[in-house]
Amino acid sequence: MVKTLLMLLCVTALSTPALAQNAATGADIAPDMPETFTVNTERFDFIRRDVMIPMRDGVKLHTVILIPKAAQNAPILLTRTPYNATRMTSKADSGTLRSILQGYDNMPDVIVDGGYIRVVQDVRGKYGSEGDYVMNRPLRGPLNPTKVDHSTDTWDTIEWLVHNIPQSNGKVGILGVSYDGYTALTALFNPHPALKVSVPMNPMVDGWMGDDWFHNGAFREEMLSYIYNQDATRKKSVIWWSNQYDNYDLFLNSVSAGQLGKERGMEQIGFFRQILAHPAYDSWWQQQALDRLVPTQRLSVPTLLVHSLWDQEDNYGDIALYYALKHKQADQPNLWLAMGPWNHGGEIKDASTLGPIRLHSDTGLYFRRTILEPFLAHYLKDDAIPLPGRVSAYRSGSDTWETRSALPEQDCTQDCATLHLTAQHQLSLNASASTSGSVSYLADPAHPVPYVQRPVITRDAPGSVWDDWLSTDQRNAASRPDVATFTSPVLTKPIALDGQPLVHLTATTTGTDGDFVVKLIDVYPDEVPEQRELGGYQLMVSSDILRGRYRKSFEHPEAIPAGKPQLYQFRLPVMNHTFRPGHRIMVQVQSSWFPLYDRNPQTYVSSIFTAPPEAYKPATITLDTAASWLKVHQASPVTP
């Protein structure tokens, strides 16, 4: 027994080092994972190429090329994005092109059914591309002394594509939503000869006047999370965080947007530092606003601007660009516009509803089949396909599509409707001015008006209503004492309004700064038999904000003289809506829209980004109803 035990101990002592050595080296265990795995694509219906395309400065940009196996003499549809080209072209575990193109900025029905070669590229500095990322990289010039920008990167990319894809017919179209719509616009500067069409959808155009970052001087505080996620790391490896579920509490407790950004370490981010340094519409913003820059060159590439009437992120720029081009190039033959009842990017997916409101059809499918597909095919293929009308506009309320030669002029001079505010909280549609009177409310920064019903969930987080907030019911706001509400009598006939409503408010405040939010609303009948939950629904059809310090000049802010009437005049976003019989028209006026926009302290400070807590004070706002109205173009009503 003892002898056996000694022998086992000896064997164990001798064998243990050998076993340990094998475990450490893995010499006797073959690895499961190959150094490089090759996907068998024999049964795929497309060829995938991942390439690094060199730019003129030596930087290489990661580009995914998807070529239908049946492609021959096929056009190219290009998208340039900061949102991960690999992810955008790898949406399904499938070997079909239609399956993997599900998701952001892809329209399988347009791309696959049209037989296009699909190309998606990471912009410089993002994901697989080399170089440095700059948010909305300015064009070469005063703000960009380098020899490269998005326009040169697009030119160099197209030059490579037309010489390295033998299945192509040498014609390229560029399209995209939001930031990708912005890059579709920058491609119009000194365009490559092979670029035959551009489709900017919901593009970022002017970040201060009314797109992502500000609206008429009020900072869009909810976009802090986007800046953090997008600009902190190359591959979005750092994500916005919060210890509070309700953004209303988060932003209120942090006092100012500048302070919250500092708490998140955002001063490390160059774009955030630029926002803090440029709260007013100075040359830094003006010199990169595309509605100012695009019209400086003759528009030589056929361009279809696509606008969403309920765009929660970029509802300013494409319409501003449309008017700028029409004013400076009245005989412009290369400009088209499509407008639909969509949120941001809603036109590329099912769009049979507007928030909770059921529409009569899938308006996104209508746009793609009737407007987009013919437009692309006309310029990118050899077929003589008829073009859509110059302006294709969906009319909400009557649920119809209209074709016209142009939008109404921005300044309504004929066929105008004037909506007068009255001291009795009524909205008068009479042509004569309202009788004298006033309406007052107390605006308290400690209790700002939420832009959606609380809790306010961070954009893109589960439970967030961010995508559809512009079509949410406004009854919660109407019930607050700090929201002045003006309502018309029940309509006995349809009233069709379109264009950009002009707000003309005359008001006094006991503070020395303040904001003015104006919302034009369609109030549904108390009973809607076909959809009962819409009984009394209050649907915004056009709304925006003006920061009072910019009432005279967007570039040079000044304090508001306390107790003295001031004129606050600004345009609301474009609308195309029919108020139907049985409905009412409502206007709401308030002085906060939180935390969509940062709170105005209502005490004038040099920068609201650094306003101290003691600057935030209640103020009484008094509207002079005899000198307050909305003016908008009135069209002939269309019967649904």
Structural domains in the chain?
46-209+284-404 (3.40.50.1820), 223-283 (1.10.3020.10), 416-635 (2.60.120.260)
Q: Which residues contact 145 (CB under 8 A, 6 or more apart)?
A: none
The encoded tokens of residue 443 equal 């605006």
Enumerate residues 6+ apart whose C-beta is below 8 A from 16: none
CA triple 238-240-241, angle to 5 deg: 115
* CA pair distance 215, 470, nearest whole angstrom: 15
Residue with tokens 């020899």: 147
Nearest residue to 153 via CA among 189, 181, 178, 128: 189
Sign of CA dihedral 479, 481, 482, 485: positive
Amino acid at 559: A
E strands within 257-399? 303-308, 335-340, 353-354, 357-358, 391-395
Residue 125 tokens read as: 């500095």
In the chain, the amino acid numbered 540 is M
What does DSSP say about strands 303-308 and 195-201: parallel, antiparallel, or unpaired? Answer: parallel
How many CB atoms neighbour CB 367 within 10 A? 26
The tokens for 181 are 């719509």
42, burial (CB in 10 Å: exposed 0-12, middle 13-18, buried 19+): exposed
Q: Cα–Cα distance between 61 and 54 in angstroms, integer?
A: 6
In sequence order, the β-bridge partners of residue 176 are: 200
> Is-contact 131 125, C-beta < 8 A?
yes
Spell out a b/e string for 197-220, using b for 16 or more CB atoms within 10 Å of the CB, else e: bbbbbbbbbbbbbbbbbbbbbbbb
Q: Which two tokens stand for residue 309?
A: 């009437």
Give the integer Cα–Cα distance in Å for 470 and 543. 9
CB-based contact 266:228 (threshold 8 Å): yes
pLDDT at site 636: 74
CA distance 297 to 231: 30
Integer Cα distance of 444 and 601 in angstroms: 9
pLDDT of residue 138: 95
Structure confidence at residue 77 (pLDDT): 98
10-residue mean pLDDT series, the chain (640 residues): 45 46 63 90 92 98 97 97 95 84 89 97 98 96 96 98 98 98 98 98 97 97 96 96 95 97 97 98 97 95 98 97 90 94 96 96 97 97 87 96 94 92 93 79 98 94 94 97 98 96 98 98 96 97 98 98 98 98 98 98 98 98 97 74
Q: Name the pTM for this structure.
A: 0.93
Task: Identify residue 79 by its one-letter amino acid code.
Answer: T
Six token digits for residue 573: 């976003």
Residue 152's alpha-carbon distances to 60, 147, 155, 179, in angstroms, are 13, 8, 5, 17
Using CA atoms, how far apart are residues 47 and 413, in angstroms rounded to an integer?
56
**Which tokens in the block code for residue 482?**
């700090």
What is the C-alpha to C-alpha distance for residues 451 and 446, in angstroms, rounded to an integer? 15
Q: Write the CB contacts of 524 (distance below 8 Å, at least 6 apart in sequence).
A: 534, 535, 536, 537, 538, 539, 583
- Cα distance between residue 67 and residue 165, in whole Å: 9
- Among 119, 124, 218, which Cα is nearest to 448's? 218
* Residue 21 in tokens: 């050595």
DSSP state of 507: E
